[in-house]
Structure 1
Amino acid sequence: MERLLRGHSVRNLTVDGVDAVFVNDPMLVRSILVKDSGNYGKGELFQKGRNISKAGMLAEDEVLHRHYRRLANPYLRASKIGDYHATMRGIAQDAVASWRPGHAVDIQTEMCRLAGAIALGTLFPGMPPGTSADLTERLAALNWETIRRPLYGKHLSRARGQGTSAHRLARARAGVRELLLTCIEDHLRSPDAENGYLSSLLSDSEEKGGRSLTVDEVCDEAVMMLTAGTVTTASVMSWALYVLSEEPLIEKNLIEEQAKAEDGSAGHGRERRPSGYTLRFLMEILRLYPPVWISCRKTRAQVTLGGHSIPEGANVVFSSYLLHRNPERYPEPHRFDPDRWLSTRTSIADGAMYIPFGAGSKGCIGESFAWQELDILLGTVLRTWRLSTEPGAQVRTAPETTLHPRRLLMIPRPR
């Protein structure tokens, strides 16, 4: 991508046989996401999430999208996130305590399991322990199949031809839906039970001014939220732990800061966001390895971008991966350097230059949730284990549904 777009702020390309306009200018991307966002709807390319849910937050209808975004907001707003701190930390501690010294851990599948357990424990509380444990395992399988599903190009064509990837994904999704439908039926028999976000979806009705969903649609919306809230975290944490294994000085700095922060951990009702060196480290991980590495919008009317006239109905593609490696914005863009954030401005006006969570009205609704979760997961692992890759292992980047390590086995040793 860097080679094809070098010197071009806007370029016409064909992606998997679909004509698209690729935008590689930070301010033009900001215009798409924020200033002129009303001129752009959801693009046809890279919309895998819509295979799961088409009626709620991912609906084409903007009014419907905003309604279900508002429905989720009480569970994801910054003032609520602190209430999840103890649950997040307890789940993380139990998970990493099960690792065995010297025995390889498949970090990505483990992070899928961990992030799924946290999403269930915080957003979908009240499930019987056995059901929650079963659903966590099924969700972990779905998350991993979602992450490694080819997004475009020859790998997707090969997967389509063989059918194996799509079949694994479909089976994993069916397994999660089957158990979730049982939970929904249990809730409908006991409507006074409190199941967090699931209760909110089920109680939504036309009488309340909403757009009521069928039981199947509620199930799909719940699966979408659980998947969206976990696959990105799993990819980011996998990169974070790998980078730490390669950068002992950075690891040392983080451990020292985590030790100081331990006594001042946030209490109930207060969101705990990373700060100091931890924040800079995570921002640099998200800069170089944004999980949502490529995005697509579709024009709702004729627009002009960078002097180029683009017709209505055109697919407009941009990549946070490329924007985050712009040498004009980030000197030595391929070098991992948390301290670049001591001087790099990160104001909202520069949002389109640093967009790991998107920007504007369609930006990630779970950003506050993600920051606290990443902070807790990172600190929990650091306090317990020192991780290293197997001798001779080569970790490659896989640009699939998320930007993740191709294969990441790590050896834990007690700290």
Structure 2
Amino acid sequence: MSTILDPRPAAQSPPLVPGALPLLGHGVSLVRRRLEFLRQARAYGPIVELRIGPTAAYLVNEHTLLRQMLVQDAARFPRGIHFQKARAVAGNGIITASGPEHRRQRRLVLPAFNRKRVEVYAQVMREIAVQRIEGWPQDRPMELKPEFVGLATRVGTKALFSAELATPAVATVERALPVLTRRVSLRAMDPTGLLERLPTPGNRRFATMMDELHGMIDGIIGTYRATERDRDDLLSMLMAARDDETGRAMTDRQLRDEIISILLSSAETTALTLSWACHELGRHPSVQRRLQDEVDAVLGGRAPEHHELGALDLTRRIIKETLRLYPPTYFLSRTAVEEAELGGYRIPKGTTMLYSFFSQHRDPRLFPRPDHFDPDRWLPNRSADVTPDAYLPFGEGAHRCVGEGFAYAEAMTVLALIAGRWQLRPVPGERVRPVGTVTLVPADLRMTVRRRTR
């Protein structure tokens, strides 16, 4: 009897990144200098092995393989530990669900973020942004991230709920979100799960805030159910949505999870994008002047209407370049639910697959001069300076962010208002640097503003 040999070479294991310590592996590097480590690890191969304590994880560095994992082979690699930890806050909402549950939730949520609906929410964005930005203190150092978190939280809450219910809800959401995001951040960095089980003051405060937030949202949903009228807001859209396949609407629990998912994702990510954009404009006065010229020419001192955002081309490119340099959700994970092969490497079942949009967006092979803030790299005549398939600030595939249009509209509206009214200046002597937690946050970002005179 003859033996038939498979002519294909056997899949190999990825190379191990140097520097793993006994017992700790690469854990110290991931905690102390995560962003630098993720960029350096790209030099060792398209997929590399990391040790997180005694456990092996694979880091996907090649952008074509990352796209394959997120799109073509997504069913083999569902969401990993980062998303599992976020379930403590967002339940089974669209930012944490996987598989059939996610597909169903996405079908229900997507219509609430189509272009026509974003035009409705844009009015809320504009009104709140004008109120907040007009009152900024002149010539006094101001922490930008908390200011933008407050602004984005109000926008999200007032887009979700009708006017009479949104105002009291804002205070609860503003108190809750910083506590919730910090707890999720800490839990995501604790693979043992021990931290979340300890009776610490932080965990007790987390539980209290979750109870308060759930109570507020459940009360609003109950009010909507009792009156059964369309309030022309996001919650009304979610309640009216029906699954095309089953005809079913969302349960109250699903509605609550989606509301928290929307608030959690929109407030933090938009606030970070605006914070980093203002930081870069302060560092690049010539780009700031060009932005002011564009806003003056298109708006003439007015707050932008949604239909005018299309004429603010540089404004959009500034947001796009900011998201390249500082993608808010910069480091994520998937899990291999079956043995697979990716890029010629064998992926055992159960392997944690890590990937970083931050390190990919700063790879000089994909984006020349990657650390330089250059909004003009996105001009059509400079296509050689970008790799579109490698630009993934909103994710890709079935889990691509449904609120991308909402996020761009809000960020552009706020940035245009700032450019029309204020001159942004960095605080002398202060060094701003990105810090990787669950999101990419700016450490020590304070700026001063001075009212513009035309």
What residue in structure 2 maps to residue 272 of structure 1? 309
In 2, Cα distance between equivalents of 1:274 and 1:400: 35
Distance 1:167 1:350, change over 3 A: farther
AA aligned to 2:135 is S
State the TM-score, normalizing by the size of structure 2. Answer: 0.80
> In the TM superposition, what are the counterparts of 1:227-246 in structure 2 within 5 Å?
227-246=264-283
SS of equivalent residue, structure 2 residue 367? coil
Separation in 1, partners of 2:335, 2:247: 26
Structure 2: distance between partners of 1:274 and 1:163: 51
What is the alpha-carbon distance in structure 1 between the residues aligned to residue 65 and residue 364 of structure 2? Answer: 17
Instruction: Tell me how far apart the structure 1 counterparts of residues 237 and 54 of structure 2 sit (CA, whole Å).
Output: 41
Q: Look up the match of 2:421.
A: 384
Q: What amino acid is aligned across from residue 425 of structure 2 in structure 1? A: S
Aligned residue runs from structure 1 range 45-64, under 5 A: 45=82, 47-58=84-95, 60-64=97-101
SS at structure 2 position matched to 1:295: strand
Counterpart-to-counterpart distance in 2, 1:206 and 1:338: 40
- Secondary structure of 1:49's counterpart equals helix
- Once residues 322 and 194 of structure 2 are traced to their aligned partners in structure 1, the CA distance between those partners, rounded to angstroms, is 30
Residue 133 (structure 2) aligns with: 96
Q: Following superposition of structure 1 onto structure 2, how do residues 5-404 of structure 1 map, counting pairs within 5 Å? A: 5-15=42-52, 18-45=55-82, 47-58=84-95, 60-128=97-165, 130-138=167-175, 141-142=178-179, 145=182, 149=186, 151-152=188-189, 163=200, 166=203, 169-194=206-231, 196-202=233-239, 209=246, 214-262=251-299, 270=307, 272-273=309-310, 275-342=312-379, 343-345=381-383, 351-404=388-441
Cα contact 1:43–1:298 (8 A) shared by 2:
yes
Report SS of the residue matched to 1:291.
Answer: coil
2: CA distance between counterparts of 1:383 and 1:132? 30
SS of aligned partner of 1:52: helix
Query: What is the identity, as a one-letter code, of the residue corresponding to 1:192?
Result: R
Could you say if the C-alpha distance between residues 346 and 97 of structure 1 is closer, same or farther in structure 2, counting changes exceeding 3 Å?
farther
Deviates more, 1:270-279 or 1:187-196: 270-279
Query: Unaligned regions of 5+ residues in structure 1, if any?
Result: none
Question: Are the structure 2 counterparts of residues 383 and 150 from structure 1 closer, same or farther at C-alpha, using a change threshold of 3 Å?
Answer: farther
Q: What's the CA shift string for 1:73-118, capped at 9, x where partnerless? A: 1221234322222221111000111222233322111111111111
Structure 1 distance, partners of 2:177, 2:195, is 24
Once residues 243 and 104 of structure 2 are traced to their aligned partners in structure 1, the CA distance between those partners, rounded to angstroms, is 12
CA distance in 2, matches of 1:363, 1:111: 24
The answer (yes or no) to whether the contact 1:284–1:338 under 8 Å persists in 2 is yes
- Whether contact under 8 Å (2:334, 2:353) holds in the other structure is yes
User: For the residues of structure 2 that align with 1:42 and 1:78, how far apart are their CA atoms?
Assistant: 28
What residue ranges of structure 2 are gaps of 5+ in the alignment? Answer: 1-37
Q: Does structure 1 conserve the Cα–Cα contact (< 8 Å) formed by 2:75 and 2:99?
A: no
CA gap 1:300/1:141 in 2 versus in 1, 3 angstroms? closer
Identity in percent: 27
The offset of 1:136, in angstroms, is: 4.9
C-alpha distance in structure 1 between counterparts of 2:187 and 2:141, whole Å: 26
Q: Which has the higher contact order (CA 8 A, sep 6+)?
A: 1
- Quick one: distance in 2 between partners of 1:182 and 1:346? 53
Query: Alignment RMSD, CA only?
Result: 3.3
